[in-house]
Amino acid sequence: MSSTAPVSRSVPVPAAVALPLPTAAPLRYDWQPAEVEALLGQPLNDLLFAAQAAHRSWFKPNLVQVSTLLSIKSGACPEDCGYCAQSAHHETGLAPERLLPLAEVVAAAAAARAAGATRFCMGAAWRNPTDRHLEVVLAMVQAVKDLGLETCVTLGMLTAAQASRLAAAGLDYYNHNLDTSPEFYGEVISTRTYQERLQTLEHVRAAGLKTCSGGILGLGESRRDRSGLLCQLANLPAHPESVPINLLVRVAGTPLAAAAPLDPLDLVRTIAVARIMMPASYVRLSAGREGLSDECQALCFMAGANSVFSGERLLTTANAGAARDRALFARLGLACEETSLTGRTTPGACDKTGQRADRGAGAAQAAGAAPAPAVAP
């Protein structure tokens, strides 16, 4: 018996299935150095996989936030940070400069915005700002915010009152790095204690400012010290919203000028573990990026870095320029976050509830919603 009904010989195509998204684990604040040291030593493939999962549960995976950093007052710093070209304790040949005029700062911020930056960071080489200096910085903050940029300043130690004044002026972020572990810290800096750094971070948090705090690798520290630094950051009462991971730039005339170079894969590992421990924070690939190959930077992004400093200078040392970054981002299929003026969702605070603004699966899950597909920009 014959049939005229068409016979399909094609292989049935299954209905499209949404791949499961990584589940956003609750934020932790009880990390132990030995546990973190073990994480740092995991096979690299395993570490990258776990870091990517953490990253994708909180962030859109192919977006990078771009900041620009301007030195508003360079050199003659009374502190003795062993890595720093600006310390008055070291003979680096850096000519000290006075606090920049407001107009110059505004022009630099406008140029940074035109080049794609969404955050403008201003750094001054002070132990702490005087109230007279603070007045000038407050005006800078307000003028840069008027351009539609997020603002960040790094001015050294702050009192509670100074932090409150910066918050009232509309400052978004305050940067104050912990640099390294408490145990290794004394090998690098003697003029400011670890506790003083933690105190400034406390003032910053209490004032309602977002915290930018990270460290430097390649100072001669051990893997245990890197785990100690990460534990300090991740066990703060709230994870810093921004975590810069710097690679030492060896500056002639500083005590660390001859430090042994770090294996770049240790930078990748540290970024991956920072991402796993502080999954809702921006992890920034910071100083030292200029010396990395494009392939190493790609690994850093795969490890969960999602923020960079862009521009030819990073305070007083060279940095990857905007043109090189554009070319690299194009090769990697990365896009830059846009400014709040053009509609980017402003990040929410990162606290123990895990409540964040629009950040992919993690935010929705923290709010009790069903996971939504992560959408590449």
Q: Nearer to ligand SF4 by C-beta: 62 or 317?
A: 317
What span, in angstroms and rounded, lies between the C-alpha atoms of 8 and 21?
A: 34
| The one segment of 54-62, 76-84, 135-143, 319-327 that binds ligand SF4 by CB under 6 A | 76-84
**Residue 22 touching ligand SF4 (CB under 6 A):** no
**Binding map of ligand SF4 across residues 116-155, x = CB under 6 A, - = no contact:** ---------x------------------------------
Q: Nearer to ligand SF4 by C-beta: 22 or 156?
A: 156
Residue 225 identity: D
| The one segment of 53-61, 80-88, 135-143, 227-235 that binds ligand SF4 by CB under 6 A | 80-88
Q: What is the DSSP string of 105-146?
A: HHHHHHHHHHTT-SEEEEEE--SS--HHHHHHHHHHHHHHHH
Of 65, 67, 86, 118, the one binding ligand SF4 by CB under 6 A: 86
Phi/psi for 245 (5° steps) reads -110, 110
Shortest reach from residue 163's CB to ligand SF4, in Å: 17
**Residue 105 touching ligand SF4 (CB under 6 A):** no
Of 27, 47, 63, 77, the one binding ligand SF4 by CB under 6 A: 77
Q: Are 336 and 64 in contact (CB under 8 A)?
A: yes
Q: Nearer to ligand SF4 by C-beta: 176 or 289?
A: 176
What span, in angstroms and rounded, lies between the C-alpha atoms of 240 and 201?
A: 9
**Residue 219 touching ligand SF4 (CB under 6 A):** no
Of 81, 231, 236, 262, the one binding ligand SF4 by CB under 6 A: 81
Q: What is the DSSP string of 306-330?
A: -EEE-SSEETTEE---HHHHHHHHH
Instruction: Give the angle 249-253-259 at the CA atoms, nearest 5°.
Output: 45
**Residues within window 153-192 making contact with ligand SF4, judged by CB under 6 A:** 156
Choose the catalytic residue: 165, 197, 205, 212.
Answer: 212
What span, in angstroms and rounded, lies between the C-alpha atoms of 176 and 80?
A: 16
**Residue 79 touching ligand SF4 (CB under 6 A):** yes
Q: Nearer to ligand SF4 by C-beta: 254 or 297?
A: 254
Structure tokens at 48: 């990258």
Q: Nearer to ligand SF4 by C-beta: 116 or 215?
A: 215
Applying CB under 6 A, the site for ligand SF4 has a residue count of 8
Q: Nearer to ligand SF4 by C-beta: 176 or 239?
A: 176
Q: Nearer to ligand SF4 by C-beta: 84 or 314?
A: 84
What span, in angstroms and rounded, lies between the C-alpha atoms of 221 and 99?
A: 34
Q: Is 121 a catalytic residue?
A: yes
**Residue 84 touching ligand SF4 (CB under 6 A):** yes
Q: How many residues in the chain?
A: 377
Show the DSSP H helices in 147-244 as ranges: 160-168, 182-185, 194-206, 223-234
Shortest reach from residue 251's CB to ligand SF4, in Å: 10
Sign of CA dihedral 173, 178, 180, 186: positive
Choose the catalytic residue: 197, 269, 275, 284.
Answer: 284
What span, in angstroms and rounded, lies between the C-alpha atoms of 134 and 1?
A: 95
CA 180 → CA 49, 84, 206, 347, 366, distances in Å? 26, 14, 23, 27, 31
Shortest reach from residue 346's CB to ligand SF4, in Å: 28
Q: Is 350 a catalytic residue?
A: no
Choose the catalytic residue: 56, 81, 113, 289.
Answer: 81
What span, in angstroms and rounded, lies between the C-alpha atoms of 156 and 123?
A: 9
CA 104 → CA 101, 107, 140, 252, distances in Å? 6, 5, 10, 29
Q: Is 231 a catalytic residue?
A: no
**Residue 87 touching ligand SF4 (CB under 6 A):** yes
Among all residues, which ones are annotated catalytic? 77, 81, 84, 121, 152, 212, 284
- Residue numbers of the site for ligand SF4 (CB under 6 A)? 77, 79, 81, 84, 86-87, 125, 156
